[in-house]
Amino acid sequence: MTEDSHQTADILIIGGGLSGTMLAAQLLRRPGQRRILIIETRSELGRGEAYSATEPGHTLNGNAARM
């Protein structure tokens, strides 16, 4: 999406990590129609910071037995 794009939505969710994605999913399960727009800088929804770690020492949301 370009900076000059214009979109409208009934609900705007900032952040497409796990919480934002699950919020959108729950809202879409409710009766009625609504337009939901998720603003996310990453190309993939649902991962967020905690699940996108590339460093081996990054222990957020890691297995406690491996710490």
* Tens-digit pLDDT profile for residues 9-66: 999 999 998 899 999 999 999 999 999 999 998 888 877 776 677 777 766 666 666 6
Read off the DSSP letter of residue 44: S
Is residue 46 one of the residues assigned to a domain? yes
Please give the tally of structural domains in the chain. Answer: 1
Predicted pLDDT of residue 60: 65
Is residue 33 one of the residues assigned to a domain? yes
Confidence label for 3 from pLDDT (cuts 50, 70 and 90): low
Is residue 48 one of the residues assigned to a domain? yes
d(CA 64, CA 36): 36
Predicted pLDDT of residue 6: 85
Range of the domain at 36: 1-52
Widest distance between CA atoms in the chain:
48
Predicted pLDDT of residue 24: 96
Q: Which residues pair with 38 in a beta bridge?
A: 13
